[in-house]
Amino acid sequence: MAGAYGGPEVLSVIDTAVPKPESHQVRVTVRAAGINPFDYKLYSGALGADPERLPLRLGVEAAGVVTAVGAGAVGPAGPISVGDEVIAYHAPGAYAAELVVPASSVVPKPAALSWEQAGGLLAAGVTAVHVLEAIGLSKGETVLIHGAAGGVGLMAVQLAVARGATVVATASQAKHDLLQELGAMPVVYGPGLADRVRTMAPEGVHAAADLVGTDEAVDVSVELVPDRVRIATIAGYERGIRAGIKLLGGAPGGDPGTEIREAARLKLTEAAAAGRLRVVIADGYPLREAAVAHRKIMAGHTTGKIVLVP
């Protein structure tokens, strides 16, 4: 929980009573909760610093075991029962040991996934689906994905490859082996990026996704992709507005893609259960070390997702 706006130092763990689930709600004992950039943008004040909203409960996704259900507790996959292993998304306040959420937010946890993987699957996964839908990526096309080794990036790479697209993926050299394993053509970001991409994709780039929010990502995308409607960003809002590209997500001016994201949840869990979608976990931290985990993410360069384990 954040009791003030600021850096990770404002985060703390408090004890509070967990209510019984009401109609169409379920209570979940959390085994893992994913950390996402939206979480620290929220308490940093980047999305507004209204003191009336404090304290802020953080987190939007969690995996755990159902411990109580209200009347009519039916999720996207059907009725929910005590003892079910589930993933909850969208789940406000997911940084918790126990959580009450709408039944509509709960889907079955694939048995093949660890708790950490399940806790880190959906927020990144639905964002990646939204991005690929927004840029209209089709089989046989070439897409440039910036920030390809992050949580959303690794999902977007795999989903784009599954669509039959050629993926050029920006990342530091140390992450290239993983990206190649997932079917992408990795390229180092930095000066000369546009020329390196042209060499790798001599027939051109049809679409681009900025998942990192740098000026370079937006500028290179605009330089290489003829149609700006086929460029989207989930992080570079200010630069994206000036460039006239699509803004995606919950920040002001962004398309939240609510229907696309909700519809993607069961498809993502099915793909993960079948082994077609890999969830890469960078690290896990106890809930009481949330500030440490956030400092690591904010430093950049993590590969995959970081999760909290109550």
- The pLDDT value recorded for residue 47 is 83
Q: Is the pTM of this model over 0.85?
A: yes
Q: How many CB atoms lie within 10 A of CB 283?
A: 16
The fraction of the chain above a pLDDT of 90, given in percent, is 93
Picking from 283, 306, 289, the residue whose alpha carbon sits closest to that of residue 13 is 289
Q: Does position 109 have pLDDT exceeding 90, yes or no?
A: yes
Q: Does position 96 have pLDDT exceeding 80, yes or no?
A: yes
Q: Strands, E, within the chain: which ranges?
A: 25-34, 62-69, 74-75, 78-79, 85-88, 98-102, 106-108, 142-146, 166-170, 185-187, 207-210, 231-233, 246-247, 281-286, 305-309
- What whole-number distance in Å separates Cα of residue 59 and Cα of residue 42? 10
- What whole-number distance in Å separates Cα of residue 221 and Cα of residue 223? 5
Q: Does position 116 have pLDDT exceeding 90, yes or no?
A: yes
Domains of the chain: 8-121+279-309 (3.90.180.10), 124-247 (3.90.180.10)
DSSP 171-208: --GGGHHHHHHTT-EEE--STTHHHHHHHH-TT---EE
12-23 pLDDT, tens digit per residue, is 999 999 999 999
- What whole-number distance in Å separates Cα of residue 165 and Cα of residue 292? 37
* pLDDT tier, 242 (very low <50, low <70, confident <90, very high otherwise): very high
Contact (Cβ atoms closer than 8 angstroms) between residue 201 and residue 221: no
- The pLDDT value recorded for residue 217 is 98
- What whole-number distance in Å separates Cα of residue 239 and Cα of residue 235? 9
Structure tokens at 162: 């599954």
- What whole-number distance in Å separates Cα of residue 145 and Cα of residue 151? 13
- The pLDDT value recorded for residue 301 is 79
- The pLDDT value recorded for residue 64 is 98
Amino acid occupying residue 43: Y
Structure tokens at 168: 């050029």
**H and E: helices and strands count for the chain:** 10, 15
- The pLDDT value recorded for residue 218 is 98
Average pLDDT over residues 31-37: 96
132-185 pLDDT, tens digit per residue, is 999 999 999 999 999 999 999 999 999 999 999 999 999 999 999 999 999 999
DSSP 14-47: ---PPPPP-TTEEEEEEEEEE--HHHHHHHHTTT
Q: Does position 300 have pLDDT exceeding 80, yes or no?
A: no
> Between β-strands 74-75 and 166-170, what pairing exists: parallel, antiparallel or unpaired?
unpaired
Q: How many CB atoms lie within 10 A of CB 182?
A: 20
Contact (Cβ atoms closer than 8 angstroms) between residue 30 and residue 62: yes
